A and B are shown apart, each in its own frame.
Chain A
Amino acid sequence: MSKSRIDKFGERLTRRIAGYSSRRSFLARLGMALSATPVLPLLPVARAAAADAPKTDFERYAQTTDATQCNYWKYCASDGVLCSCCGGGSHSCPPGAEPSPISWIGTCVHPDSGHSYVIAYRDCCGKPVCSAGKSCWCDGGDRELPTYRSPLNNDIIWCFGNASASYHCSTAALLGSADASRK
């Protein structure tokens, strides 16, 4: 039976790590990585104030109709080139690209309803960077934190666990309501 791509990747990763790591430290690290990985996209992180709180500059000018523009409401903290300009959509990778299994997250306010939502900024990977026009390159900063708060940072190439960590473009998938954590 031929191995799946995930199996092959896992084997490569394991062999590579084994090459420079003792078994005990490898297990400890793997445990930490496994325990940390599924948690990252699910953290309901929203440090924004209550719904009637002042809006950020992005929130004041956000729109809900055109996902190929940087001011589309879900892109409040998107950094990179929009997949919606590259043959994909706001939460879809373009053909042939692969979504990263983990992502960083932000919290954006829907301008019509005023509700806030947790957004997973998931990079699409495995292809050269998309060569869309300059208007599709966005750099939102709402509630974006530095690299040492990695789950909330948008300057990291979020292509982990993919066949290739080469960044292609950025998506923004709505994960759920963040209103509860804002109160």
Chain B
Amino acid sequence: MIRAVMMMKAAMMIRAIMQIALLLASLGGWLAAAQAEPELAPETSDVATLPPNVPHRIFTGGFRSQSFVIFDADTGKMEGSIPAGYVSNLAIAPDSSRFYVSETYWTHGARGNRQDLVSIYDAKTLNLLKEIGLPGRALVEKMQNFDINASGSRAYVYIMMPVASVVWVDLKSQAVGGTVEIPGCALVFPWGNEGFSSLCGDGSLASVTIPASGPAKVTHTKPFFDANSDPIFENSFVDRATGKALFLSYSGLVYPAQLGADSTVSEPWSIQKAAGYAPAGTGVQELAWRPGGDQLAALHKASGKLFVLMHPGNYWTHKHGGTEIWVLDTKTHTLVSRFPLRAVPSSGLGNDPVPYYASIAVSQDAKPLLYLLNTEGNDVVLDAATGRELRKIEFAAGDWISVPGN
């Protein structure tokens, strides 16, 4: 009996010695490995900054977005985001040093005191530099409800109540400069440093000059389009530096204009005629290639190329997105090319008969890229010269795409 107990104790001791030996062996291995690898340096928590001069940077945002999301379109990577309030809009300083956001907040989410603002952000740190309170702003889902002048010294904010007006903001003194009423007109197309034009319900353009001192002056062109039968899309274009503008109508007419204190409008040309078709009419059962979408066209200023989302449809399909991109030379009024678009997953919007892209933008450099946006978060980057798809950028859902230099 005693012998048996002694044997058991000896076995337990041997097992314990073996376990210690194993532990020491594994510890030795670990120590050896630790000696082979250099020790990791402690990390410091810091904050990234936005790199300057990224050639193909895009900003997506819109009605349902809480921020403008910044992507590098060459890599598809998110670079950061700019916070944004209700029905917000973005303007980028000409030297890309500042971002300006027009936005609306309530103090308790969707209720409480309303605050309308132009907020200024540093373009490197994305830090908020200033909030400028506004007397109001129109909650209109159009990119043309806010813009800055050519030099970036002024911002213009469209407001609707109590009457259609534009509030101008002095971005140097960072204060509201004044309000100009534009009854019957809407939105802002800035030209030069002292003025802007607005589209009017009587088919004219109102042009507002706001001198450095003294009262504002408002002139009107003669009515040049029929706002009932063939209105002009809000998504039209002005080169702020030169005042050269293009206004695109529902049916596909392009009206060149020279904006200024006394704006002038030239005879329109048809984008369908440029493509070898008959100009499209306004019949509700008149099938034709038609422009449509949300941000439905984009202009490359240096080349004068206009990129338009086109779809086959009847009149009043002006909100349907594109199944093709038409590239038009606005100098010669000719079609350069047509890019068929690959089908995308349905947006799910009940009235939309076909999957589509509703927004398009183009970079303003010498080798431009095209950006397409749909509501599913399947953004696509195309080569603007060939229409070839370069890459997709996921999770960039929004309504609009902004690009620098536009």
Contact = CB atoms under 8 A, between A and B. Distances in A.
Nearest to A59: B284
A148 B114 contact: no
Given A143-B316, A149-B201, A156-B140, A126 B285 contact: no
Contact of B186 (A17, A56, A148): A148
Given A47-B228, A164-B106, A148 B350 contact: no
B316 A147 contact: no
A165 B106 CA distance: 9
For B64, B110, B142, the residue with the greatest tally of chain A CB atoms inside 10 Å of its CB is B110
Interface in B330-383: 347-353
Interface string B143-167: 0000000000000000011111000
A146 B109 contact: no
Interface residues of B, number: 58
B163 A146 contact: no
Contacts, number: 144
A146 B199 CA distance: 9
Nearest to A25: B181
A165 B336 CA distance: 45
B28 interface: no
A138 B162 contact: no
B350 A136 contact: yes
A115 interface: no
Nearest to B185: A148
B271 interface: no
Contact of A32 (B162, B176, B283, B350): B162
A57 B233 contact: no
A139 B319 contact: yes
A155 B351 contact: no
Size class of the contact patch on chain A: 35 or more
A54 B318 CA distance: 18
Nearest to A31: B162
Contacts of A166: 86, 106, 110-111
Contact of B160 (A138, A139, A150): A150
A19 to B, nearest CB: 8
A5 B200 CA distance: 35
22 contacts: A29-B163, A33-B163, A54-B283, A54-B285, A70-B349, A70-B350, A126-B110, A129-B64, A135-B348, A135-B350, A141-B318, A141-B320, A144-B316, A146-B227, A147-B234, A148-B184, A148-B185, A148-B200, A150-B201, A157-B140, A163-B111, A164-B112
Interface of A: 16-17, 19-20, 29-30, 32-33, 47, 53-58, 69-71, 75, 126-129, 133-150, 155-157, 159-160, 163-168
